[in-house]
Structure 1
């Protein structure tokens, strides 16, 4: 499969989650997911079972842990890419405070758009505007199928 076909498959799957209601810790297309649940669902569609069990996490988990667990997990299973080189189909992580841990993730759908879920919102495609751009903590590519 070419890289272009691979990225198209990622985006097709991610867009298939559009409208899925936000539910913390869920990852069920159409029924509920959080931001990580969306990425997990795309992983399962591309590769099958998730590569490691996910421990329970609370909405404020990132503030209570000295480690950046989301970035650590992304680095274990995805390939880091330069933020400036991130392309549609890549996973983008965000932190809400400078030098804080990554707390949110999305899938880049265009150079200026992301697909994601957050509390109170269904999975949707939104602008990657200045507020989000200032908070990018890292970018990662799914392994080529």
Structure 2
């Protein structure tokens, strides 16, 4: 369930949401992160991070474009836990980051930013950065919810 944006929602969530919305229409490009030119789902998250904090906190290793591919470890979840703040699964509000897994036994490999109750901004192949409904097929694949840290809390 995605909650409504309340008056006490942090300014960093509002800034993250505003930045994510500015990426709408960016074409899909695997491993890219350039607003208007191309990005994938992680590239969108990286671009929002840069807008909020400046430089990215760590280099991004190469990864496969197929988010249904199996693999070892939860590298996306582990990186998110290093730099974002994990939230309870059903508490996502606009500006929060959702990580998805295609199947229970597969690692989380897709990222979206909550834009409104029942809506997310994300990028995927052949479509680009769009705002999509968080339909049951997406909702049941949410593996983790994270929020961006307040700038004062972030330490590279």
Q: TM-score, normalised by structure 1?
A: 0.94
The correspondence of residues 1-145 of structure 1 with structure 2, limited to 5 A, is 3-60=9-66, 63-145=69-151
SS in 1 for 2:24: coil
Q: How many residues align?
A: 144
Q: Judge conservation of contact 1:62–1:68 (CA < 8 Å) in 2.
A: no
Give how far 1:83 is off: 1.5
Give how far 1:99 is off: 3.2
Unaligned 5+ segments in structure 2 are 1-7, 152-156
Give how far 1:3 is off: 4.2
CA distance in 1, matches of 2:78, 2:117: 25
| RCO comparison, higher one (Cα < 8 Å, 6+) | 2
CA distance in 2, matches of 1:142, 1:120: 28
Q: Judge conservation of contact 2:68–2:102 (CA < 8 Å) in 1.
A: no
Q: CA RMSD in A?
A: 1.5
SS in 1 for 2:16: helix
Q: Judge conservation of contact 2:89–2:145 (CA < 8 Å) in 1.
A: yes
CA distance in 2, matches of 1:126, 1:64: 25
CA distance in 2, matches of 1:44, 1:62: 27
SS in 1 for 2:131: strand
CA 1:64–1:91: 2 relative to 1, 3 Å: same
